Structure 1
């Protein structure tokens, strides 16, 4: 898409308020929700009397063929012929009297719903009708949204979006990075990302090539990546999801290589999937990929058995799972899983930071639903690790229970009513971390109000419970570190 075409298209989309809020308002709550479920007809009906915005919605979002005159009015000053030359539209004959136009690409509004700092863009990607093409370029999908919501958005100088696809992560990056570089191995993805950036008037450096080859010898303050992470046989059915390496080998290589492209203190955030292999501990598997000098927080969000994993990604590709070809593909995939002794497949986030200190490596599960974006939690985790590294002797620190932390108690029924069965401290924000505690631990946390150092609190607890101080210290410090890492205890 050349500069003039991008400017003319941007003028049209801006004039008719082709934005997330305006489209939602036009469709109404019910039809907009139905569209999110893939039900097009309610949205089409709601957009019938929507004027030129309705034409854009029907044409670009709903797959409708619209008359030449209506499209020309909605896209002016961009002519339908120029939109066709740019690959956005295709002419359809035999419809309306004056001819008709249909979308050749998916062009949709996408925004950051933040009342304090909103943002609005337009994203170009492939239509669902191309889902089974090898070079299909996905749009704003679940994986893109997952990574975007989990990214630390604090300002940085340079940022690399590795495997940019249609450019979603790079769009976000332009809001908090001084210079953004995006790479991809797929020419079609680079073309659509380039068009997306031009349409939004953004300056992003685009480089062609696999993995880290295009940025050899360069370092960045931040790297984000939604790589082709779907474990399976060593093949590439779809460029956006398949690495060409067997299993999780490509992810392992990327984790080993990424830190060398980070500035000191630089952070990489990526999505990934790893194998649960029979007779092997999955956290040890992922830890083994880490090079020296790297803080790492690896969070497993989902676990799927092989059949569910294969079926999920076949549905994602739009395959008919009952077809001969799909069954043959599934059979080969499951045979490979059997041969590799794969019992399950994990999916989650990886946060890596280059450090000169003693590395902090945490691998854990977070399998419950998380309502809040994880980006602030990632930033908080990194800061809390820094604080712990700077305060190796916690006994001299003053700590306080975070404001959004509560003590829960639970009981079990018995012959004489309810019997106390235990208690836990839990965060009511972010990932809702929860830790079970016994009576002395609950008493210690009650005393963490920032007034006394931890040493004095443990001495008081020792007296109250008639337990040696050394014994309490040995039992308490690891738990306190974990509570600090999870944000339940904060420096006073």
Structure 2
């Protein structure tokens, strides 16, 4: 288990960090591009070389927190409250100097200005030093947490829940557009670090200990976000379970529980957004997940990646620090036996949106979309309910509507010298980067939809210009218009 932490004055630490210039741009400038790339590979050497023999406050803090090096105490005296950080357990004496027991790192988010500092446990595997991960380890900013922040809808809401808050990075983002934020976790250490993250950034987050929806029983929220501990590892003792990534729920039943319970904790119109994974059995994965969606809710599930069981197991055994250890093969065999017992053939990884839409007929969409996207895509999810409304318009209302193409390029492909192109493609520049391959008639209709004319007016004009039967044109084109509205190439 990790050393215990006690509260410190976050405002004093904030002032000290600012005075030293320990902010994103200054740190990146100081370690240079090679240093940044090295840290991306878990190598501290390029950044250390960039710092050279410098002993100024910024260099000392970079070595202490980012590079996880020992720093002579005299270099930190007057830079931070050394005594307070030692007493709180955030610094420890090691060798002839001081070392960080936690990672306090500048954080930048130009998309929503959620900029400040994140407090977590030190990055594992730096400079090839691999050690088993502590059960109460608190993960810092990861590709998964960054992705969740980028897919989260950022509309203004009254209340938001960060379920499984960890280091508190999602709460930092949520606090930019939610009047109140609740963060929950089963890991006391995570709650302590999340509290310091919130304090350093001047954010008010209501942090509570407990599993899943238990800490918010009886409460409803406009938005719930979570990158839950979804790893489908074999059951283990509480002392060896890695709280940040796994539980003793069987298979993907934790994710199922979150989805099934969403309606009881969402305000009307509210949404749950998950970045997670699910088991793929012998039955279609869409059918399994469809059965999880609570009554009265819409759902949109996007499978971004599919992993075979071997790749999945190896990824998470390595993440646990078991690479190269004597226990690797035995643990591997335990996972294989567990997956075989549950009938897990592969693992889907992706995004889940559940909205308490309360339609007479819920809209449920399940798709695989492994293609590149243009992050952030939070706006795509924020507009999804309106896109479904537009997609489901009665025909008369659709004909009277005035949608417009938004952030779409028109591409033509064909044989050089030919009179007409073989293909006309309308492709999004933003969001999920969807595309529509259109014939001449559909291209003419889509190209004319700029918000000024109604769909009915455009259809009539195109039919006249191309000498087409208006009814046949409408029959062929209206389904494509509906699809374009759902995929948000067209916006009402």
On the 8 A contact 1:234/1:247 being kept in 2, the answer is no
CA gap of 1:207–1:162, structure 2 versus 1, over 3 A, is same
Counterpart residue number, 1:481:
482
**Residues 235, 245 of structure 1: 8 Å contact kept:** no
- Distance apart, 1:219 and its partner CA: 0.6
Q: Within 5 Å, which residues of 2 pair with 1:126-165? A: 126-129=121-124, 132-165=133-166
1:289 equivalent in structure 2:
292
The corresponding residue for 1:111 is 108
Shift, 1:63, TM fit = 1.4
Q: Distance in 2 between matches of 1:50 and 1:436?
A: 60
| Structure 1 pair 52–424 and aligned structure 2 pair: CA distance change class (3 A) | same
Question: Does residue 229 of structure 1 match 2:230?
Answer: yes
* Post-superposition offset of 1:450: 3.6
Q: Distance in 2 between matches of 1:136 and 1:243?
A: 14
**SS of 1:179 mapped into structure 2:** strand
Structure 1 residues 417-432: aligned runs within 5 Å: 422-432=423-433
Query: Is the CA contact (8 Å cut-off) linking 2:7 and 2:88 kept in structure 1?
Result: no
Instruction: Choose from 65, 72, 83 the match for 2:70.
Output: 65
Cα distance per residue 1:290-313 (max 9 Å; x no partner):
011112221111111111111112
Q: How does 1:227-306 map to 2 (within 5 A)?
A: 227-235=228-236, 237-278=241-282, 280-306=283-309
* Cα displacement string for residues 208-248 of structure 1 (whole angstroms, at most 9, x for unaligned residues): 11110111111111111111112343447311111312221
In the alignment, which residue of structure 2 is the partner of 1:319? Answer: 322
Q: Which has the higher strand share?
A: 1
- Cα deviation, residue 112, structure 1: 1.6
The aligned counterpart of 2:28 is: 24
Find out whether 1:101 has 2:107 as its counterpart: no
Q: How far, CA to CA, are the matches of 2:452 and 2:200 in structure 1?
A: 55
Q: Is the 8 A contact 1:300 1:367 kept in 2?
A: yes
Contact 1:256/1:291 (<8 A) preserved:
yes
1:363 to 355, 366, 371: 366
1:123 aligns to 2:118 (yes or no):
yes
**2:127 maps to which residue?**
none
C-alpha contact (below 8 Å) 1:294/1:353 kept by paired residues: yes
Match of 1:192 in 2: 193
Aligned counterparts of 2:454 and 2:156: Cα–Cα separation in 1: 34
Q: Is the 8 A contact 1:223 1:267 kept in 2?
A: yes
8 Å CA contact 1:28, 1:46 repeated in 2? yes
| Residue 178 (str. 1) matches residue 173 (str. 2) | no
| Alignment-derived partner of residue 350 in structure 2 | 348
1:235–1:242 contact (8 Å) kept in structure 2: no
- 1:108 touches 1:123 (CA, 8 Å); kept in 2? yes
Supply the distance in 1 between the matched residues of 2:168 and 2:364 (Cα, whole angstroms): 30
Q: Distance in 2 between matches of 1:201 and 1:446?
A: 48
Secondary structure of the residue aligned to 2:115 is strand
Residue matched to 2:332: 330
Q: Distance in 1 between matches of 2:459 and 2:177?
A: 43
- Please, which runs of 5 or more residues in structure 1 have no aligned partner? none
Q: Compute the RMSD of aligned alpha carbons.
A: 2.6
Change (3 A) 1:260 1:472: farther
Matches within 5 A, 1:449-464: 449-459=450-460
Q: In 2, Cα distance between the equivalents of 1:418 and 1:464?
A: 18
**Equivalent position of 2:15 in the other structure:** 11
Deviates more, 1:33-42 or 1:357-366: 357-366
Measured after TM superposition, the shift of residue 106 of structure 1 is 1.2
Q: Do the aligned partners of residues 446 and 113 (structure 1) sit closer, same or farther apart at CA in structure 2, a change above 3 Å counting?
A: closer
CA distance in 2, matches of 1:334, 1:412: 52
Which SS does the other structure have where 1:271 is aligned? strand
Does the CA-based 8 Å contact 1:26-1:50 persist in structure 2? no
TM-score w.r.t. the length of structure 1 is: 0.89
The answer as to whether partners of 1:19 and 1:120 remain within 8 angstroms in 2 is: no
* Structure 1 residues 466 and 120, CA gap change in structure 2 (3 angstroms): closer
Other-structure match for 1:308 = 311
Residues 341-420 of structure 1 aligned to structure 2 (within 5 Å): 341-358=343-360, 359-388=362-391, 393-402=397-406, 404-411=407-414
In structure 1, distance between residues paired with 2:208 and 2:137: 19
Number of matched pairs: 476
Aligned to 1:36: 40
Query: Distance between the aligned counterparts of 1:212 and 1:335, measured in 2?
Result: 31
Q: Distance in 2 between matches of 1:17 and 1:223?
A: 34
Shift of residue 168, structure 1, vs aligned partner: 0.8
Q: Does 1:53 find its partner at 2:58?
A: yes
Displacement of 1:465 in angstroms is 6.6
Write out per-residue CA displacement over residues 37-90 of structure 1, whole angstroms, 9 at most, x where no aligned residue.
212111112223261110010011111111111122321xx1x23211111111
